[in-house]
Amino acid sequence: MTQRVELATVLDRLAVDGLVTEYAVAVDDGDWEAYQGLFTADGRADYRSAGGIEGDAGQVAAWLARTMRLFPVRQHLIVNRRVRFGVLEQDVGDTARVQADYVNPMRFAAEDGGPSEPDFVCGGRYAFAFLRTDEGWRLREMVVQEKWRRAPHGQEAAD
């Protein structure tokens, strides 16, 4: 590889990794406009394994806006990011896939609207598919694979 190709790969990796972080921040902050802006026009998200929906970014953002009201405090921790470029056979470097593990602690809303005890915590793996567009890298697909959760009152669930 030439230095120019290596530098381009590093820059692409930083851009894609940055979008994963922007995804977490948008969800945690409830910025549904920013969330939708991370996706391509035909981008889709799938939260079914976590009890949610699958649909285009607008549909899913509306669902998240309603659902996340239950959790006024939330904080994604996304780790172990595995980035792969050009995963399609005809690709020329304009696609990427990221597999990343997550832990997501949240607090339920109290009757006064603020956070309450106890916490709800879940964890699993994200599968992100990215496409390079004229506006830069964007999410084409995001799938959540929830593997476990710890719910209030000691109720635990796992895959």
Q: Please, which residues have CB within 8 angstroms of residue 35's CB and are 6 or more apart in sequence? A: 23, 26, 27, 57, 61, 64
Q: Please, which residues have CB within 8 angstroms of residue 123's CB and are 6 or more apart in sequence? A: 101, 102, 103, 104, 146, 147, 148, 149
Domain holding 9, by residue range, is: 3-158
**CA–CA separation, 94 vs 22, rounded Å?**
20
* Per-residue pLDDT band at 56 (split at 50, 70, 90): very high
Q: Mean pLDDT in the chain? A: 89
Domain count, the chain: 1
**The predicted structure's pLDDT at residue 113:** 67
**The predicted structure's pLDDT at residue 122:** 96
* Per-residue pLDDT band at 153 (split at 50, 70, 90): low
88: pLDDT strictly greater than 70: no
